[in-house]
C-alpha cells in the first residue's frame, strides 16, 4: 500500500496494531508513508483508520483495507479482485509445467479476502468436489472457523498474539464470509509451533517464508497429525497434489534468523 501510494505520488498513513515488528514498520516508512501504531488489535487498527478518514473535512482520504463491514465493501471487493491475479499466475505456471490442477488448495485466512479470491478461481471445482479448499488460521484468531461453526460472522476477541501476525484478525470480512463459508471443505486452527516448523523446512528447500507464509504447510501438517476429520474432508492421500501459497517472505529478519538459524539470504522490500 505504501509503495503504491509512493508510485502514484500520494500521501499514505498506515495504521498497524501494537506489537508489529520494528522491521516491518521501518519497511513501510522506507516507502515514504507515515506509520501509526494503534494500541490494540488489527481490527482496532482498521477501525481507527476508518475514523481518521471520516474526520477528514475535505473527504479526500480513502480507506484501503482487505476487510469489509456494512457500508464499506467497494474497496475490499477491489482487493479481492486484485488477489485473483495470484491464481491467474498459478494457472499459467501449472500449464507451463504440464502439471495437473491441484487436488487441495491451502489458503491462509486473516479476514478472508485471499480466501474469497481462491473461491473466485476454484469455486466451481470446490462445489463439484474436484478441488478441496482448506483454510488455515492461528488457533487464537480463528475468526472464520468460529464464524462458520456459528453460521454467521462472529468476533474472536483479542489480544491476538500469534507470531503469524498477518493472520491475527478477530472478525471475518462480511464480503468474504458468504463465499468462503460456502466453498471451503475445511478449516484448521494451528499453534505457532506448526508455523515455526514449516518455516524451517521450507528454508531447507530454498523458500524463505515468514511466519504467515509458513502457515499453509503448518496447517496441513497439523491436520494430518491431529485432525482426521479434516483429512477425510480433503481426501488427502499419498498421491494428492497440494497447492501452498507463501504469502510472506522474511519481513522480520531478526525473528527469521532466530527460527531458522541464519539471516535471510534475500532482502525483502
pLDDT in tens, 13-43: 999 999 999 999 999 999 999 999 999 999 9
Q: At what angle do helices 113-128 and 74-97 cross, to 10 degrees?
A: 60
Quote the pLDDT of residue 158.
Answer: 87
* 167: Cβ contacts below 8 Å, ≥ 6 apart: 108, 109, 110, 136, 137, 138, 141, 212, 215
∠196-200-205 over CA atoms, to 5°? 145
CATH code linked to domain 74-260:
3.40.50.1100
Q: Give the tens place of pLDDT for each residue, 113-171.
A: 999 999 999 999 999 999 999 999 999 999 999 999 999 999 999 899 999 999 999 99
3-state helix, strand and coil shares in percent for the chain, rounded to the nearest 5: 50, 10, 40
| pLDDT computed for residue 267 by the predictor | 58
Q: What are phi and psi of 93, to 5 degrees?
A: -70, -40
Count Cβ neighbours within 10 Å for each residue of 200-238 and write b for 16 or more, e otherwise.
Answer: ebbbeeebbbbbbbbbbbbbbbbbeeebeebbebbebee
Residue 268's pLDDT is what?
55
* Percent of the chain's residues with pLDDT above 70: 99
Q: What's the pLDDT score for residue 266?
A: 74
Flag whether pLDDT at 66 surpasses 70: yes
Whether 179 contacts 116, CB under 8 Å: yes
d(CA 259, CA 107): 22
Do 133 and 73 contact (CB within 8 A), yes or no? Answer: no
- Please give the Cα distance from 22 to 82 (Å, whole number): 27
> Residue 265 — very low, low, confident or very high, per pLDDT cuts 50/70/90?
confident
pTM for this structure?
0.94
Retrieve residue 58's grid coordinates: 475535505
- Indicate the pLDDT class of residue 69, thresholds 50, 70 and 90: very high
Residue 88, CA distances (Å) to 22, 49, 207, 247 in order: 33, 31, 21, 16
The fold of the 2-54 domain, in CATH, is Rossmann fold (3.40.50)
Domain ranges of the chain: 2-54, 74-260
Asked if the domains at 2-54 and 74-260 fall in one CATH topology, the answer is yes
Q: Which residues contact 243 (CB under 8 A, 6 or more apart)?
A: 90, 102, 104, 105, 106
Confidence tier at 112 by pLDDT (50, 70, 90) = very high
Predicted confidence (pLDDT) per residue in 201-238, tens digit:
999 999 999 999 999 999 999 999 999 999 999 999 99
Write down the mean pLDDT value for the chain. Answer: 95
59 pLDDT more than 90: no
Indicate the Cα dihedral angle 171, 4, 249, 46, nearest 10°: -20
What is the C-alpha separation between 229 and 111, in angstroms, rounded? 24
Would you give the end-to-end CA distance of the chain in angstroms? 12
Q: What is the rounded distance in angstroms from the CA atom of residue 73 to the CA atom of residue 265?
A: 39
Amino acid at each position: 500500500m505504501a509503495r503504491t501510494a509512493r508510485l502514484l505520488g500520494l500521501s499514505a498513513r498506515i495504521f498497524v496494531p501494537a506489537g508489529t515488528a520494528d522491521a516491518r514498520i521501518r519497511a513501510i516508512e522506507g516507502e515514504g508513508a507515515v506509520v501509526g501504531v494503534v494500541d490494540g488489535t488489527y481490527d482496532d487498527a482498521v477501525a481507527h483508520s476508518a475514523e481518521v478518514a471520516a474526520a477528514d473535512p475535505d473527504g479526500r482520504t480513502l480507506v484501503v483495507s482487505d476487510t469489509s463491514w456494512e457500508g464499506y465493501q467497494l474497496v475490499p471487493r477491489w482487493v479481492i479482485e486484485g488477489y485473483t491475479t495470484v491464481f491467474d499466475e498459478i494457472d499459467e505456471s501449472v500449464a507451463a509445467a504440464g502439471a495437473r490442477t491441484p487436488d487441495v488448495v491451502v489458503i491462509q485466512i486473516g479476514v478472508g479476502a485471499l480466501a474469497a479470491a481462491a473461491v473466485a478461481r476454484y469455486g466451481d471445482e470446490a462445489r463439484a468436489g474436484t478441488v478441496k479448499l482448506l483454510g488455515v488460521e492461528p488457533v487464537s484468531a480463528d475468526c472464520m472457523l468460529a464464524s462458520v461453526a456459528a453460521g454467521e460472522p462472529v468476533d474472536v476477541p483479542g489480544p491476538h498474539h500469534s507470531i503469524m501476525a498477518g493472520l491475527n484478525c478477530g472478525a471475518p470480512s462480511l464480503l468474504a464470509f458468504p463465499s468462503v463459508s460456502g466453498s471451503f471443505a475445511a478449516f484448521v486452527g494451528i499453534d505457532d509451533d506448526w508455523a515455526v516448523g514449516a518455516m524451517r523446512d521450507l528454508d531447507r528447500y530454498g523458500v524463505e517464508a515468514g511466519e504467515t507464509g509458513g502457515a499453509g504447510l503448518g496447517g496441513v501438517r497439523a491436520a494430518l497429525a491431529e485432525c482426521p476429520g479434516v483429512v477425510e474432508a480433503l481426501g488427502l492421500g499419498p498421491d494428492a497434489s497440494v497447492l501452498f501459497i507463501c504469502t510472506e517472505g522474511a519481513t522480520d529478519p531478526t525473528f527469521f534468523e532466530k527460527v531458522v538459524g541464519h539471516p535471510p539470504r534475500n532482502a525483502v522490500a
